[in-house]
Amino acid sequence: MGLEDDLPHLQKVIYEKEREKKMPRKIFIFDTTLRDGEQSPGASLNSREKMEIARQLAKLNVDIIEAGFPISSHEDFESVRAIANEVKGPVICALARAVEADIKRAGEALKDTEKPMIHTFIGTSDIHIKGQLRKTREEVLKMAVLAVELAKSYCHEVEFSAMDASRTDPAYLFEVVQVAIESGATVINIPDTVGYAIPDQFSQLIRDIFINVTGVDKIRLSVHCHDDLGLATSNAISAVKAGATQIECAMNAMGERAGNTALEEVVMTIKTRGDYLDAFTDVKTQEIMNTSKLVSRLTGFVIPPNKPIVGSNAFAHSSGIHQDGVLKERTTFEIMMPQDVGLSESELILTARSGRHALRHRLSELGYEISDDQLGKIYETFLSVADKKKQVFDEDLIAIVGDELLAAPQTYSLEYMQVIGGTPTPVAVIGLRKGKEVFREVACGDGPLDAACKAIDKITGVTIELIDYSLNAATKGKDAIGTAMVRVRSNGRTVIGRGASTDIIEASAKAYINAINKILYGR
Ligand code: KIV
Ligand code: ZN
């Protein structure tokens, strides 16, 4: 057996030795939001919007921006050219099929940029070679060589993609990759074009490329995974574990069909699990939220709340047990710092499942230092509001606390009320508690609130004059909390009463009772 035949074995030994070194490797982030991302059905960006995104990608510090596909339209050509001339920092890349006209157009668009890269590609699976290209394997091999050589005449950095690599006969794939490297490609990209690969299988393919192709260690081995089966991030990360040093990805997982690998997911996986992957990226992760929001706004693609990293629930804790854990020790239920992706803090979603601990914490963040006794009362009101509304917002809390703190001393409190509006005569039935007794009265009025106030007057015997009345929705939505404010006068003394409830007549009646209590207290 000659040395030639033994090559795969030698390569395997080298591959394993390299893996054993365990030196943290930089993983290059190749962003394709403006090319593959823009191919998302329904997303289309104009040149100005593409420029805005490219500037933000430079702030995010991605290594390569794939700015577009210049042969596809005059607008795309101009947009790639403008980005190439203006955006500094990342390498600016243009896509081209493995045909002369495409490569020339890409070369022209990148003519004046400091760091250009041409990305040329051709289908290598038999399905693509026969079904789409109507060519032979030999012809495709030649096209790959000519394409890389021509691209090389425009710039040093040339990426070659073997489209549909995961469905390509591996022996043929090694051959194509080998000739592309020999023709001068500085990056070889292995796309899972139709999202068909399974993580174990995909990482084995990457390992096999290292073992069967000479010189892979001298270039960058890249992966480009689609999310048809929801495996794009897993496939990309397993490829990194197997030795790939570049990931192609798009912000918010934008891309053809079900999308591309989500940039935010792979970057945060590498940051969070760099210990296991022996890898890092140079991405400024604090810019992730800004970038995600910009891409969402300009493409009109809304981000689902449960989307990893960038969804509005990604750092929000709702269950009582989780909230308690996070308040005691953040890492109990959080593997990333919200600040690392550009959020100010994690969020405790206050719902009927939240405990007193979470409620007190949020109140103290809002500036309320309350006694245990007050907390007990506020918590009861909080639970009744949370039962009616799914989520209790800060504005709800402010209204609840205001109601509680200003309500003391409560000579009278509202036990029940029933109001019938409309014609001919609005009627109110009111029950007020005073100590252990509950007093009941019925009254008619000009409107439901007038009827309620008259029934209250009958019970308390206090004569008051209503000077001012206002009602505000303290929170959003149909189930918002209404806060009522009344200014009343009695025996020359003016007081303000406040009340809050999801029912506006009840909020108003509570405000009225609160004012009466203050008058009685003053006496
Ligand atoms: O999915 C794919 O194969 C591509 C190539 C152009 C890299 O987008
Ligand atoms: Zn793609």
Ligand 1 in reach of 223 Cβ (< 6 A): no
Q: Tokens 């995974």, residue? A: 225
Ligand 1 in reach of 191 Cβ (< 6 A): yes
Query: Quick one: pLDDT at residue 414?
Result: 95
Give the range among 153-157, 174-178, 289-293, 319-323 with minimum mean pLDDT. 319-323
- Please check the confidence at residue 128 and state whether its pLDDT lies above 80: yes
Q: Average of pLDDT values for 122-143? A: 97
- Local confidence band at 476 (pLDDT 50, 70, 90 cut-offs): low
Query: Quick one: pLDDT at residue 514?
Result: 86
Q: Which is it for the CA torsion 441, 442, 447, 450, positive or negative?
A: negative
Query: Which amino acid type is present at position 82?
Result: A
- Local confidence band at 393 (pLDDT 50, 70, 90 cut-offs): confident
* pLDDT tens track for 34-45: 999 998 988 889
- Please check the confidence at residue 408 and state whether its pLDDT lies above 80: no
Query: Quick one: pLDDT at residue 241?
Result: 97
pTM of the model: 0.73
- Please check the confidence at residue 496 and state whether its pLDDT lies above 90: no
Distance CA 77, CA 220 (A): 27
Q: Which of 189, 194, 195 is nearest to 159 (CA)?
A: 189
The DSSP secondary structure of 15-66, one letter per residue, reads: HHHHHHH---EEPEEEE-TTTTGGGSTT----HHHHHHHHHHHHHHT-SEEE
Distance CA 93, CA 106 (A): 9
Cα-to-centroid distance, 357 and ligand 2 (Å): 48
The residue contributing the CA closest to ligand 1 atom 1 is: 193
More confident residue, 404 or 368: 368
- Please check the confidence at residue 349 and state whether its pLDDT lies above 90: no
Q: Which atom, in ligand 1's list, is nearest to the CA of 191?
A: 3
Residues present in the chain in total: 523
Q: Which atom, in ligand 1's list, is nearest to the CA of 39?
A: 8
The percentage of residues in the chain with a pLDDT greater than 90, rounded to a whole number, is: 68
Q: Which atom, in ligand 1's list, is nearest to the CA of 121?
A: 6
DSSP-derived 3-state class of residue 133: helix
Cα-to-centroid distance, 297 and ligand 1 (Å): 25
Question: Residue 25 forms beta bridges with which residues?
Answer: 279
Query: Quick one: pLDDT at residue 518?
Result: 77
φ and ψ at residue 223, rounded to 5 degrees? -130, 155
More confident residue, 173 or 18: 173
Distance CA 455, CA 10 (A): 96
Distance CA 13, CA 19 (A): 10
Token readout for 124 is: 């290598």
More confident residue, 40 or 97: 97
DSSP-derived 3-state class of residue 487: strand
Distance CA 187, CA 50 (A): 25
Query: Quick one: pLDDT at residue 66?
Result: 98
The residue contributing the CA closest to ligand 1 atom 4 is: 193
Q: Average of pLDDT values for 232-239? A: 98
Q: Which atom, in ligand 1's list, is nearest to the CA of 95?
A: 6
Q: Average of pLDDT values for 451-475? A: 86
Distance CA 73, CA 150 (A): 21
The residue contributing the CA closest to ligand 1 atom 8 is: 36
Cα-to-centroid distance, 191 and ligand 1 (Å): 6
Distance CA 365, CA 146 (A): 64
- Please check the confidence at residue 10 and state whether its pLDDT lies above 80: no
Best residue among 31, 121, 132, 261 to mutate for probing ligand 1, ranked by most atoms within 8 Å of CB: 121
The residue contributing the CA closest to ligand 1 atom 5 is: 163
Q: Average of pLDDT values for 200-213? A: 98
Cα-to-centroid distance, 30 and ligand 1 (Å): 13
More confident residue, 478 or 139: 139
Q: Average of pLDDT values for 121-144? A: 98
Q: Average of pLDDT values for 13-26? A: 78
